[in-house]
Amino acid sequence: MPDQSNQATPSDPGIPGNATAPEGLSRRRLLGTAGATGLVLGAAGAAAGYAAAPSSAATPLTSLGGEQAMFHGKHQPGITTPMQARGHLIAFDLAAGAGRKEAAALLRRWSDTARRLMAGEPAGTRDTDVARDAGPSSLTVTFGFGHSFFGRTGLGEQRPVALDPLPDFSSDHLDKNRSNGDLWVQIGADDALVAFHALRAIQRDAGTAARIRWQMNGFNRSPGATAHPMTARNLMGQVDGTRNPKPADADFDKRIFVPEAPGSGTGGPAWMANGSYVVVRRIRMLLDDWEDLSLKAQEEVIGRRKSDGAPLSGGSGATETTEMDLEKTDAAGKLVVPINAHARITRPDQNGGAAMVRRPFSYHDGFDTDGVPDAGLLFICWQADPLRGFVPVQRKLDRGDALSQFIRHEASGLFAVPGGASEGEYVGQRLLEG
Cα–Cα distance measured from residue 228 to residue 56, given in angstroms and rounded to the nearest whole number: 6
Cα–Cα distance measured from residue 404 to residue 163, given in angstroms and rounded to the nearest whole number: 26
What percentage of the chain has pLDDT greater than the value 90?
71
- Across residues 91-108, what is the average pLDDT? 98
Cα–Cα distance measured from residue 311 to residue 73, given in angstroms and rounded to the nearest whole number: 38
Q: What is the pLDDT of residue 235?
A: 98
More confident residue, 31 or 414: 414
| Of 20-24, 133-137, 157-161, the least confident | 20-24
414 closest CA partner among 105, 174, 197, 228: 174
Q: What is the pLDDT of residue 58?
A: 57
- Across residues 36-63, what is the average pLDDT? 44
Q: Is the pLDDT of residue 182 over 60?
A: yes
What pTM, to 2 d.p., does this model score? 0.86
- Across residues 208-229, what is the average pLDDT? 93
184 Cβ contact list (under 8 Å, min separation 6): 89, 90, 91, 92, 143, 144, 145, 146, 278, 280, 413, 415
Q: What is the pLDDT of residue 59?
A: 58
Q: Are 228 and 148 in contact (CB under 8 A)?
A: no
Q: Is 364 exposed, middle or buried (0-12, 13-18, 19+ CB in 10 A)?
A: middle
More confident residue, 386 or 126: 386
H or E element, residue 278? strand 276-285
Q: Is the pLDDT of residue 40 over 70?
A: no
Q: Is the pLDDT of residue 60 over 80?
A: no
Q: What's the pLDDT band for 228 if we cut at 50, 70, 90?
A: confident
Q: What's the pLDDT band for 49 if we cut at 50, 70, 90?
A: very low
36 closest CA partner among 61, 75, 1: 1
User: Which one-letter amino acid corresponds to residue 287?
Assistant: L
**What pLDDT, in 10s, does the model give residues 285-295?**
999 999 999 99
**What pLDDT, in 10s, does the model give residues 353-404?**
788 999 999 999 999 999 999 999 999 999 999 999 999 999 999 888 999 9
- Across residues 2-13, what is the average pLDDT? 36
Q: What's the pLDDT band for 11 if we cut at 50, 70, 90?
A: very low
- Across residues 162-190, what is the average pLDDT? 96
Q: What's the pLDDT band for 270 if we cut at 50, 70, 90?
A: very high
Active site residues: 240
Cα–Cα distance measured from residue 46 to residue 53, given in angstroms and rounded to the nearest whole number: 20
Q: Is the pLDDT of residue 206 over 70?
A: yes
Give alpha helix (H) positions in 244-291. Answer: 252-256, 287-291
DSSP secondary structure code for residue 47 in this structure: G
Cα–Cα distance measured from residue 242 to residue 248, given in angstroms and rounded to the nearest whole number: 16
Q: What's the pLDDT band for 263 if we cut at 50, 70, 90?
A: low
- Across residues 37-47, what is the average pLDDT? 39
Q: Are 407 and 42 in contact (CB under 8 A)?
A: yes
H or E element, residue 430? helix 429-432
Cα–Cα distance measured from residue 169 to residue 172, given in angstroms and rounded to the nearest whole number: 5
More confident residue, 413 or 170: 413
Q: What is the mean pLDDT of the chain?
A: 86
Q: Are 148 and 99 in contact (CB under 8 A)?
A: no
Could you count the other beta carbons within 10 Å of the beta carbon of residue 178? 17
Q: Are 256 and 126 in contact (CB under 8 A)?
A: no
Maximum average pLDDT range among 32-41, 47-56, 210-219: 210-219
Q: Is the pLDDT of residue 262 over 90?
A: no
